[in-house]
Amino acid sequence: MFSILFTILSFPSSTIALDPDSVYQSFLQCLPLNSPESVSELSDIVYSSTANSTSYTTLLVDYIKNQRFNNSKTPKPVLIITPATESQVQAAVLCAKKVGVQIKIRSGGHDYEGISYVSSDPNFIILDMFKFDKVSVDISTETVVVQSGALLGQLYYRIYEKSKVHGFPAGVCPTVGVGGHLSGGGYGTMLRKYGLSVDHVINFRIVDSNGRVLDRETGGEDLFWAVRGGGGASFGVILSYTVKLVRIPEVNTVFRVMKTQAENAAALVAKWQKVMPKIDDDLFIRILLQPVTVNKKKTGRATFIAHYLGDRNGLMELMGKSFPELGLKKEDCIEVSWIESVLYWANFDLNTTKPEILLDRHSDKVNFGKRKSDYVQTPISESGMTSIFNKLVELGKLGFVFNLYGGRMYEIAADATPFPHRAGNLFKIQYSVNWNDPDPVLEANYLNQSRVMYEFMTPFVSKNPRGAYLNYRDLDIGVMSGDSYSDGKVYGEKYFMGNFERLVKIKTAVDPDNVFRNEQSIPTLPGKTSGKSRKMIA
């Protein structure tokens, strides 16, 4: 008996899978000791693969937005906890520490690498924040308190309900979760005019590793700085953000223009790089680069998608002066309200879709996918663009999204928030590949395409370090092992550049035991961790 016990205690508890029933019972006993709520209220938020397996499975799958992480081999949490109150979140954090399980925090958004619901640690729980979806808009102060489990579509709709001349600068996908989007930076079609989402966060509420609810005043300016671009899940459980709204005109204009390689797409993209970062801040043009088939022949295509904060005439005049090569016609331009621009960018049909679709948490199609990111700081020549198109065509599936910089992005200091990629960048690249077939051979092929293209792009993108965007999470660029500072530095400097070290110091101060950890979390300083809160269940 002694030798068996000695063997168990000789290995870190994280390497030994705990019994789900024991974990379930431990939480049922622990939660009432750490919350003023009743036993029945608390037991209703705990789901186990053994105790209430049907509900557990439904909950687990409901917010998996990448089917790569939804198969029999995908690691599953021992529990899912669905808090609806702050005290339930506090109790869940304290009990996870006591029981010795890792906490994965899921706010219901895209999560490209699934790290909010998958873990390399066999003993993890999901704290699913989807019930935290309240959005409180106050037009008199031009502020919104939005809980972390709300989606961007819900935020946009609630603003639209109250005002037709206010908006918020955030992402174009309505099903992106607010908690992840705002804590990782967040940007959309108004970034040249208003910067990032985090540039408009004025307060927050978080549960820390000691179960305390903190805000900007009680948590301090360092923590406030860290959770505006440094990834909230490294520091605690984000409950809500308070954000400042921006003013928008009643009339906006959008367009979508496609050009193939035969229609001088490479030259147009090369010109876009030089002209657009300096153009009027009211205009944002994204480019999609894709391999397509035209007349049974494979070729490359560039799709120019625009959002202009103004009317059609103003846009036509601006494009005529600065980018006439695109050949924009008046009939290409559609005048819309701000909320209609949201629908347009989300690829909804404006003639048949009402804004209420934005309240649907499952309006998107869930498939398989992979994302990567880069930053371009020196214009890519026309010949360079031609080679990129040719490589995309050769690979056959992968596409690019080029997101324009300039304007306000060049005016905010690189260390104003943890998000460092400001002045000096012409545009951001998203590598994007989606597919619907679960065939593992196809998956291997498509993942390889993303890596081959990433290597191919090395001469064209930022260097020393090569930059990456946290919200386009990419485990290829580095993964945390335990609480290794050296591991964390590999991906940390790509995501945060010179801001990484400050994030590490703040992490060490607010979460010295590394309770809030994931495959790409902020590490603590070497030698400063006071010991993981991992205990075996008796």
Angle between helices 86-99 and 20-30 (to 10 degrees): 130
Asked if 472 is an active-site residue, the reply is yes
Distances from the Cα of 30 to the Cαs of 38, 169, 236, 244, 522, in angstroms?
12, 41, 20, 38, 28
Structure tokens at 102: 């890792």
CA gap 158, 356 in Å, rounded: 10
SS3 content of the chain, % helix, strand, coil (to 5): 40, 20, 40
Structure tokens at 22: 């024991």
CA gap 421, 413 in Å, rounded: 9
CA gap 333, 471 in Å, rounded: 30
- Cis bond before residue 465 (omega within 30° of 0): yes
**Spatial contact of 379 and 480, defined as CB atoms under 8 Å apart:** no
Q: How many Cβ atoms are within 10 Å of 142's Cβ, its own excluded?
A: 14
Beta-bridge mates of residue 104? 126
Beta-bridge mates of residue 427? 376, 404
CA gap 495, 162 in Å, rounded: 36
Helix (H, G, I), strand (E, B) or coil at 319: helix
**What string of H, E and C letters represents the secondary structure of 468-502?**
CCCCCCCHHHCCCCCCCHHHHHHHHHHHHHHHHHH
Q: Catalytic: which of 56, 431, 472, 495?
A: 472
**Spatial contact of 146 and 137, defined as CB atoms under 8 Å apart:** no
Phi, psi dihedral angles at 19 (to 5 degrees): -70, 120
**Spatial contact of 233 and 357, defined as CB atoms under 8 Å apart:** no
CA gap 520, 473 in Å, rounded: 9
Q: Go through 193-205 and write b for each residue having 16 or more CB atoms within 10 A of its CB, e for each that does not.
A: bbbbbbbbbebbb
CA gap 153, 188 in Å, rounded: 13
| Residues labelled catalytic | 472
